[in-house]
Chains A and B, each alone.
Chain A
């Protein structure tokens, strides 16, 4: 399904797609290829399309080689590695005209499964493995590594770079390096002997990846949790957020074990369900620790009651929602931006929550740190909304920076010394006039003791059923929320701001929107772009909406949730907003944005 008729593929500008069977070890071969290209200095975009399955179902991996350093899928497939007989038919159909397909020719495909506009290259991978390796498992694994060798010849990859990567991967099992290199060599030699290598779609070393690394967003967010000083993580395993806690555990194993005592300066509570997970986060935050939970949409649904408690009782909490396709169980291994509304207004009663929208793993790291500061400063739950595309795919990321002067903002917490100085402590009294009351941490002393409750309370922290007292607290919560608009990350804009057409988008749409902008502008459309990075929306969002006549809201869900949120929470006239929606479960590419905007404008919607 090519979506963008971009220029033909060529040097450092093409897409390789791998069609594999889940559980056969293809991931390491695919990642070896991507990492090799990255190390040759050429930017890459990796996308994994995997089933909710442990072994046996089809799985695909896509690598976009992009000398122009685009961040999204292109929608093309220039080289298909068709290793799964079950999906061969649809795989060959997906190759862009002029593209290539590599398959295992040990068993011949019926002649009808070819295309005149696709060059089919057969390599007898299984046969070569049987001839050269012992044992069934080794033969399966080496078959994958062998196609990496074939690709090395076809794409002109640097064999020394590949060896270097293998040496690092197998530092504890050096014998595997030689076995893998042998398989690569066999594939490489076969391709050189039988095909015209390299192909026009090939890699030429560039210096563009220096100062960058490859990481997925879940790992980056977990790293942020470590750097923010989070000590309590509570969770219930759920795809696609699981690897966030796995990464947190890994980093803590390295950096949070006291070298003298061997004790853990962290706790990970694997809860019995998401209700307990968020409950533990709230209990820990109430008690003065930085605590977080990673989850996905179904988990947010379950956490709703507790989220309302944290909002109303004003307890910090950090939630990472790695969004996946809904509704219900939906498609757990596919991506969407479908929890905007359920997070913004989570729980019954009047509640509104602070949301952060990272667009890539780099922002996952920084926003993760910021989420803890905001949660404690505002004494409220803060949601970091990743999605599966950001969370589980490896992205090329500019080096992260960290200042050793950084001190976390623990918010308005009365220390024993401060407590001593005041006459009386009232938990929900707006003493500073900023909508944010002071809090105390249990154990601080009798003077700071108060009773936390989700039932009606007055500004002194006492139980109430009095309308005026109840409303006073609710009004202040509203003021506090409005204040958050100036504290969340500001929206970033692209363009001179003078176009009449604007695009508003968020999160993982960013790469595709940036690429679409170039196409649209090349087609002489003046267009500005605003990427919102937080909710509640700041003044800059209001201004952008006011300054543009037609605004396309690009997002990855069916029901235009960002557009709804803008309509509800800003002064924008609804008639100005148009939707560009993409919710197939695969990451959005620029093609559908260009197409969506151009066709809307052609229909005269600009008028």
Chain B
């Protein structure tokens, strides 16, 4: 939430996207997070993804709650409107904002405190409503701004910086999203840009609710020995059954894999997701298998990352409400107000 604006000095040789914009056009204010914070890497991945997708900056709406993660919406795409709401209630703002204008891309950034404690109900209902949005959950297992309390995603037995042991089982947002019927569920690691950038691109293009749980270590309060959300621990315990690549609609699919290894899934706008199986037994379109897989791996202390589930068939928020293709906030007043003649007809029913 810095008031410091980065000077937009652009080297003429910077790569440009289809809109003629450089990557710098997707940056935001200067981060005020701790040096080395995983969240800053996520911010960089968002910038990269929006740049690569050639998104007009004003077509994005950035939404967040309260906490370190929620501050980051000020650090990317400064040409987009942003809304830093109240703690745990970003999904409600997203519901209203999306209701008013379905034509924008809603990018929500939240954390484990914001999403899994104070805002667990709202997250659940955003999934239930199948809001058309990408929801990034920057997950570090700890409350940073209040100096190091365990969050609801902290693993049982993991140690705090002060050496206390966590007595509660974690709430895993991936399992939650799978159980509640989300159609795009992924997990990644802030330190794995190669994996994260394509996932963010897919999530932005997915129609309906897309959740990416991003393990994003807190360098100040949760990066020590005994933590299961430290850089070292996460790196050693990642397990990725599927490699997913995003191929834009206007690009030909040139990547080729050995037969039987890769599957291409077409998205609503004509772009494709290329899925490459790293674990041949894994099927990312089978919800219950995905649930079982994530649970089994968690039992042996492995964080399953990558695109975990991609499904179809659930109507999203606007389909359920049968709204017009244009934004409700753009409808002319004469379409909304029935007028004086109709009023007389209405009153006649009450005489």
Contact = CB atoms under 8 A, between A and B. Distances in A.
A443 B324 contact: no
A279 interface: yes
A273 interface: yes
Contacts of B92: 271, 275-280, 282-283, 306
A273 B91 CA distance: 12
B313 to A, nearest CB: 22
B255 interface: no
A449 interface: yes
Contacts of B59: 443
B85 A451 contact: no
A442 B97 CA distance: 9
A286 B100 CA distance: 9
Contacts of B328: 231-232, 265-267, 289
Contact of A226 (B84, B86, B98, B338): B338
Contacts of B347: 213, 399-400
A258 interface: yes
Contacts of A443: 58-59, 61, 81, 101, 103-104
Interface string A403-439: 1101110000000000000000000000000000000
A259 to B, nearest CB: 11
Interface string B194-225: 00000000000000000000000000000000
Contacts of A406: 337
Nearest to A453: B84
Contacts of A458: 3
B322 A280 contact: no
A287 B321 contact: no
Contacts of B63: 283
A452 interface: yes
Contacts, number: 230
B3 to A, nearest CB: 4
A280 B79 contact: no
A165 to B, nearest CB: 10
A533 interface: no
A281 B346 CA distance: 27
A279 B342 contact: no
Overall SS of chain B's interface = helix
A466 B3 CA distance: 12
B148 interface: no
B12 interface: no
B53 interface: no
Nearest to A293: B96
B338 A450 contact: no
Contacts of B321: 264, 267-268
B329 A289 contact: yes
B301 interface: no
Interface in B44-92: 57-59, 61, 63, 73-74, 78-86, 89, 91-92
Nearest to B348: A213
Interface in B102-148: 103-104, 121-122, 124-125, 129
B331 interface: yes
Contacts of B268: none
Chain B contact residues (Cβ within 8 angstroms of A): what range?
35 or more
A231 B97 contact: no
Contacts of B243: none
A451 B84 contact: yes
A285 B96 CA distance: 8
A518 to B, nearest CB: 28
Nearest to B104: A443
Interface string A17-61: 000000000000000000000110000000000000000000000
Contacts of B121: 272-273, 276
A166 to B, nearest CB: 15
A280 B93 contact: yes
Given A232-B328, A442-B81, A267 B99 contact: yes
B99 A454 contact: no
Contact of B86 (A39, A306, A446, A462): A306
B340 A403 contact: yes
Contacts of A264: 321-324
Contacts of A272: 121-122, 124-125
Given A280-B99, A404-B339, A287 B329 contact: yes
Contact of B96 (A214, A261, A280, A462): A280
A110 interface: no
Nearest to A451: B82
Interface in B284-339: 321-325, 328-329, 331, 333, 335-339
A92 B310 CA distance: 69
Contacts of B346: 223, 251
Given A263-B323, A276-B125, A288-B101, A281 B82 contact: no
Contacts of A279: 85-86, 89, 91-93, 95-96, 122
B84 A231 contact: no
A453 B82 CA distance: 8
A262 interface: yes
B162 interface: no
B337 A261 contact: no
Nearest to B2: A463
B14 interface: no
A369 B163 CA distance: 59
B274 interface: no
Nearest to B336: A229
A291 interface: yes
Contacts of A238: none
B171 interface: no
B337 A284 contact: no
7 contacts: A229-B337, A278-B92, A284-B100, A287-B97, A306-B89, A403-B340, A451-B81
The 10 closest A-B pairs by CB, nearest first: A279-B92, A283-B96, A446-B79, A289-B100, A280-B96, A284-B96, A442-B81, A283-B93, A462-B3, A287-B100
Given A231-B336, A279-B86, A442-B61, 15 more contacts: A231-B328, A258-B335, A265-B331, A272-B122, A283-B92, A283-B99, A285-B100, A287-B104, A440-B81, A443-B59, A444-B58, A450-B82, A451-B81, A452-B82, A452-B84
Interface of B: 1-3, 57-59, 61, 63, 73-74, 78-86, 89, 91-101, 103-104, 121-122, 124-125, 129, 321-325, 328-329, 331, 333, 335-340, 342-343, 346-348, 350-351
